[in-house]
A and B are shown apart, each in its own frame.
Chain A
Amino acid sequence: MKHLPSRSSLLMAPALAWLAALMVVPCALVLALAFFRRGIYGGIEYTFTLENFGLVFDPLYAGIFLNSARIAGTATLIAVVIGYAAAYAIAAAPRRWQPVFLFFAVLPFWSNYLIRTYAWIVLLNREGLITQLLRWFGYTGEPPSMLYTEGAVIAGLVYNYLPFVILACYAPLSRLNPELAEASRDLGASAATTFRRVILPLTVPGIAAGAVFVFVLSIGNFVTPALLGGGRFQMIGNLVYDQFLTANDWPFGAALAMALIAIMLLVLMAQALAANRASGHAAQVGGDTDG
């Protein structure tokens, strides 16, 4: 990377100060907390220990990590499939309608996260809208139990983060020269082969960006599993929340939070590395371009 001129460093200073004060310092404090012992009646006993990190790998808690990863992964997969399809449809629409469709796709984002999640409770409740709709169609049996299930949590996560995927996939899809797909058809490829060999590879960066977004936000989420999952320890977010606010075990909560941050960083780094390799390769070979 190039050295930034001093004027740009100056412009970046407020943002860096903000990040340092509200991100780096609190994180460092939480990290420090993780190395202390829990006091007998809550509170913190300032003696050094690695016990908290050991406990993270306890099958009980490691299982919750795996469960979180599974739920976040499922939500990511569903969001990517639905979001890519929606982005594809929007990019294929007439140019002047595209901003309108995008606006509607992102519209839920302008309302409060909690309210949106509560709306799902109204939908999935035992006597909620879906049950009533079923009754209206003549269903007389037991109301289906949809709320407080893993499915409800996944549905909530997908719903909340779908706009990210749509926006991330729309960007490369809308920039794609439509003649590339025509060229592929002209050269003998079916529509399916054209999608697999031309359209999909050229839009993978958008999919990756959207997927990482959904996964990282989902795996640490605690509001959705708390409200739609029925408050059971389904995801790490809830566990961390519980350690800090209910169990009063701040050091263990801190260790769990650090483990979560580590997972997120790994995912983000993997994506950055992959993206870098894709563009870095081109730049490297591009050095000797001179026809």
Chain B
Amino acid sequence: MSEPRTLLAIDHVSKNFGRVTAVDGISLDIRENEFFALLGPSGCGKTTLLRMLAGFETPNDGRILLDGRDIAKTPPNKRPVNLMFQSYALFPHMSVRANVSYGLEMERLPAAEIRSRVDAILATTELVPFADRKPEQLSGGQKQRVALARALVKRPRLLLLDEPLGALDKKLRGAMQLELKRLQHEVGITFVIVTHDQEESLVMADRMAVLKDGRLLQCDTPHAIYEHPADRFVADFIGVMNFVPGKAATDGVVAANGARISGKVPATLSPGASAVASVRPERIRLFPEAQTANRTTGTVEALAYQGLDLQLHVRTPLSPKPFLVRVTADAADRRPVASGDQVELGWDAADVRVFAE
């Protein structure tokens, strides 16, 4: 695979509204043809960053380079970037076709070209039967596809999507996640999606950036972020994590009850400092082999079958919160457990991540 080309470089961009800093010195690169997610809790600055990419806000500091050209001060109608609004923002007085044609009319393209391009995108988004309808006559999913078609028909260098699935119900959302990914692949346009839903970005994104309080915490592939979170916040925000609070040692963390959790300790943590050891629920085994590095006993408080796997809440002396353990249904069948049972838990040192508290 050839070296991926950087399409958009966000270079030390900051934005404040009065005394509130919404985006604080963020730098990140978005590559050609990737599906990139900006993820974070509400108020983390992801929407402000998106609006700066679209041209609705101007950064107080920093550069936004698209194909190497600084577009930070270019007005929204003069940049090859399109935004799909969270509210869809379809023009209510125009038909679906007129909504989709609008952006091409602004480019003053010949009528025949507009027509053929609009026809093509309506076919791609399966909107042909609704071409003459007004937005108020469409379902939520249809409106979402019109908003997408209206932005895609412009063939932007970059398509921005602001919580594109937020207004849809859960079942439709799952289908649209895959649909969006398929479309992105088909049209070959770089997508940048803003979401607060970590599951959504894990499913859809090629790479993602985790933001908090206007700062970039981590930018990597979903797999790398899930397996190697940069800090405690990311570890907690992405997926589910069990934490054992304690003090840092050279080769692990000493829990409050004196138990030692073995794992690699980052060089920045000096021995004796407050630290947490963490492990993912699916990395914990029930009734582990004797030589397993980390072991504890606990009481099963609750369990839930989820088809393929079984989730257990296990009260252990290691942490005030019960451990969440996820084992395959197979493993559960081999040695059934019930609520109230005493169980042994174990996990490898390689699966432990240690963070500063």
Chain A residues within 8 Å of B, Cβ to Cβ: 177, 179-180, 182-190, 193, 197-198, 201-202, 282, 285-286, 289, 291
Taking chain A's interface residues, is the majority helix, strand, or loop, or is none over half, making it mixed?
helix
A285 to B150, CA, bound (A): 22
Given A183-B91, A197-B102, 20 further pairs, Cβ under 8 A: A180-B89, A180-B92, A182-B76, A182-B83, A183-B89, A185-B77, A186-B54, A186-B76, A186-B83, A188-B77, A188-B107, A188-B154, A189-B106, A198-B91, A201-B93, A202-B92, A285-B133, A285-B137, A289-B133, A289-B138
Partner of A187, one of B56, B75, B92, B150: B150
- Minimal beta-carbon separation of B81 from chain A (angstroms): 8
B103 lies within 8 A of chain A by Cβ: yes
Contact, CB under 8 Å: A185 / B75:
yes
Contact, CB under 8 Å: B56 / A182:
yes
Query: Which residues of chain B in 127-183 are interfacial with respect to chain A, using CB atoms and an 8 Å cutoff?
Result: 130, 133-134, 136-139, 141-142, 150-151, 154
Query: Which 6 A-B pairs have CB atoms at the shortest separation, nearest pair first?
Result: A188-B106, A187-B103, A291-B139, A183-B89, A179-B89, A289-B137
Contact, CB under 8 Å: B82 / A186:
yes
Residues of A within 8 A of B87 (CB): 177, 179
Contact, CB under 8 Å: A182 / B89:
yes
- Beta-carbon nearest neighbor of B150 in chain A: A187
Residue count of chain B within 8 Å CB distance of chain A: 31
Contact, CB under 8 Å: B133 / A190:
no
- Beta-carbon nearest neighbor of A180 in chain B: B89
A20 to B55, CA, bound (A): 59
A190 to B105, CA, bound (A): 12
Partner of A291, one of B89, B141, B150: B141
Contact, CB under 8 Å: A188 / B93:
no
Query: Which residues of chain B in 199-250 are interfacial with respect to chain A, using CB atoms and an 8 Å cutoff?
Result: none
Contact, CB under 8 Å: A183 / B85:
yes
A-contact bits for B78-108, CB 8 A (1 contact / 0 none):
0000110101011111000000001100110
- Minimal beta-carbon separation of B337 from chain A (angstroms): 47
A184 to B99, CA, bound (A): 10
